[in-house]
Amino acid sequence: MLGNFLEKFKRGLSKTREGLTGKISEVLRRKPELDEEALEEIEEILIRADVGVNATLRIIDRLRERLQEGPAPERTEDWVRALLEDELLEILRAVRSPNLKPSRTGPHVILVAGVNGSGKTTTIGKLACRYGARGKRVLLAACDTFRAAAIDQLSIWSERSGADIVRHRPGADAASVAFDALAAARSRDVDVVLIDTAGRLHTSINLMEELKKIRRVLGKCLPDAPHETLLVLDATTGQNAVAQARQFHADIGITGLVLAKLDGTARGGIVIAIADELGLPVSMVGMGEGRDDLSDFEPEAFVAALFKGD
Ligand SMILES: Nc1nc2c(ncn2[C@@H]2O[C@H](COP(=O)(O)OP(=O)(O)OP(=O)(O)O)[C@@H](O)[C@H]2O)c(=O)[nH]1
Ligand SMILES: [Mg+2]
């Protein structure tokens, strides 16, 4: 299983590998003795790769400590890489997420939120394909009524995945779409309901109020719905993703993060900053626009792909 993930992660993380471990290897080759200057260079590389200042400083401190413990002849490039791998894994393992497996009787409701363009609708489409392939009956709720194109985009994913869709006219009340979607899900024996929502800035009060209203309506239709609230973050937005996650979590409570567009960035170190600073589970990562480009987050595969890419 890990092998399968590893191949996907290797492909998706090629840019990050160049920007992070590729550069670190360069330093290690130039300065195998790893003096203080080399440590500073590594520190800068980690920060540039969006690992986050706090996590970076801790990693460098730990590295310094362990270098002092280890006898000089052991300080080969491989040895230092292994130390770094250990440090990253320790941070990432703390946010390992239980995989999403609908097991209840009755619909498993997943609300998907995020700022505009972060990758919500695409993530929902990929999830619909994944659940469909596992024989689950899926229903999509087009609660992004803000733009007509958003409803059309979700409809395309409905066709592609074979999932049902509940949609209203553009401009309709998002919460009423959610209400109708749950009613349809219950009468049609649906296993998974995926709720697409409008994206606006995380500082938008309207957006948060709309999301809260959707949540209230879901809970009224089906006690303890939504069962998951996923926040989709665009990995290319760097440290801003951390601020977004904080705001969404404070306002609507997030149960899992999806990091989209990891394939498009050399700064995939953001996964480490998010794990370190938020402590929220990283459920999945998006590494492309296709239906199969969504993977459960596996810390071991992630770190292995960063260090053993080629
Ligand atoms: N490379 C890459 N592109 C992605 C990924 N996920 C989404 N995209 C692209 O990013 C763009 C925005 O994705 P959407 O899914 O429409 O984002 P959204 O959050 O629904 O956007 P709004 O509804 O406008 O808020 C699209 O062009 C997607 O194809 C990913 O994992 N990798
Ligand atoms: Mg969308």
**Ligand nearest to the Cα of 291, by number:** 1
Last residue of a domain, one of 34, 58, 93: 93
Give yes or no: residues 276 and 187 share one domain: yes
Q: What's the chain's length in residues?
A: 310
Per-residue pLDDT for 308 more than 90? no
pLDDT at 206 (0 to 100)? 85
Last residue of a domain, one of 93, 118, 137: 93
pLDDT, tens digit, 9 for 90 and up, residues 151-160 = 999 999 999 9
Residue 304 lies inside a defined structural domain of this protein: no
Q: Bigger pLDDT: 2 or 254?
A: 254
Residue 101 lies inside a defined structural domain of this protein: no
Ligand 1: residue of 13, 15, 265, 289 to mutate (most ligand atoms within 8 A of CB) is 289
Cα 260 to ligand 1 centroid, rounded to whole Å: 8
For residue 125, the ligand 1 atom closest to its alpha carbon is: 15
Half-sphere exposure of 254 (CA within 13 A, CB side): 27
Give yes or no: residues 129 and 194 share one domain: yes
**Mean pLDDT for the stretch of residues 291-306:** 92
The answer to whether 244 touches 202, Cβ cutoff 8 Å, is: yes
- Does residue 287 have its Cβ closer than 6 Å to ligand 1? yes
Cα 256 to ligand 2 centroid, rounded to whole Å: 18
Q: In angstroms, what CA-CA distances link 234 with 238, 255, 264?
A: 8, 17, 10
The answer to whether 139 touches 223, Cβ cutoff 8 Å, is: no
Report which DSSP code applies to 194: E
Q: Which of 93, 37, 26, 86 minimizes the C-alpha distance to 59?
A: 86
- Does residue 204 have its Cβ closer than 6 Å to ligand 1? no
Residue 103 lies inside a defined structural domain of this protein: no
- Rounded CA separation 101/29 (Å): 45
Cα 113 to ligand 2 centroid, rounded to whole Å: 9
Residue 276 lies inside a defined structural domain of this protein: yes
pLDDT at 104 (0 to 100)? 61
The answer to whether 226 touches 110, Cβ cutoff 8 Å, is: yes
The answer to whether 83 touches 168, Cβ cutoff 8 Å, is: no
pTM for this predicted structure = 0.93
Cα 128 to ligand 1 centroid, rounded to whole Å: 15
Q: Supply the range of the domain harboring residue 79.
A: 2-93
Give yes or no: residues 148 and 89 share one domain: no
For residue 117, the ligand 1 atom closest to its alpha carbon is: 21
- Rounded CA separation 39/31 (Å): 10
- Does residue 154 have its Cβ closer than 6 Å to ligand 1? no
**Mean pLDDT for the stretch of residues 250-256:** 94
Give yes or no: residues 31 and 147 share one domain: no
pLDDT, tens digit, 9 for 90 and up, residues 104-143 = 678 999 999 999 999 999 999 999 999 999 999 999 999 9
Give yes or no: residues 166 and 287 share one domain: yes
Give yes or no: residues 88 and 172 share one domain: no
Residue 156 lies inside a defined structural domain of this protein: yes
**Mean pLDDT for the stretch of residues 212-225:** 94
Q: Bigger pLDDT: 1 or 12?
A: 12
Give yes or no: residues 78 and 149 share one domain: no
Centroid of chain to Cα 48:
20
The answer to whether 189 touches 136, Cβ cutoff 8 Å, is: no
Last residue of a domain, one of 35, 66, 93: 93
Cα 116 to ligand 1 centroid, rounded to whole Å: 9
Name the domain count of the chain: 2
Give yes or no: residues 247 and 121 share one domain: yes
CATH number at residue 13: 1.20.120.140
Per-residue pLDDT for 261 more than 90? yes
CATH number at residue 232: 3.40.50.300
pLDDT, tens digit, 9 for 90 and up, residues 45-96 = 999 999 999 999 999 999 898 888 876 666 777 888 888 899 999 999 988 7
- Rounded CA separation 230/110 (Å): 7
Give yes or no: residues 76 and 143 share one domain: no
Spatial strand order of the sheet with 164-166 comes to 164-166, 138-142, 192-196, 108-113, 228-234, 256-260, 282-286, 294-296
- Does residue 173 have its Cβ closer than 6 Å to ligand 1? no
**Ligand nearest to the Cα of 11, by number:** 1
* Amino acid in position 256: G
Nearest CA to ligand 1 atom 7: 119
Residue 54 lies inside a defined structural domain of this protein: yes
Q: Average model confidence (pLDDT) for the chain? A: 90
Of 65-74, 214-223, 240-249, give the lowest mean pLDDT range: 65-74
Report which DSSP code applies to 73: G
The answer to whether 84 touches 20, Cβ cutoff 8 Å, is: no
Q: Which of 148, 147, 137, 222 minimizes the C-alpha distance to 178?
A: 222
* Amino acid in position 6: L
Q: Which of 72, 210, 35 minimizes the C-alpha distance to 195?
A: 210
Cα 35 to ligand 1 centroid, rounded to whole Å: 43
Cα 156 to ligand 1 centroid, rounded to whole Å: 14
Q: Which of 25, 22, 34, 31 minimizes the C-alpha distance to 70?
A: 34
DSSP bridge partners of 166: 141
Nearest CA to ligand 1 atom 25: 116
Give yes or no: residues 259 and 188 share one domain: yes
H-run or E-run covering 60: helix 53-69
Give yes or no: residues 36 and 133 share one domain: no
Residue 98 lies inside a defined structural domain of this protein: no
Give yes or no: residues 125 and 269 share one domain: yes
Residue 17 lies inside a defined structural domain of this protein: yes
- Rounded CA separation 17/40 (Å): 19
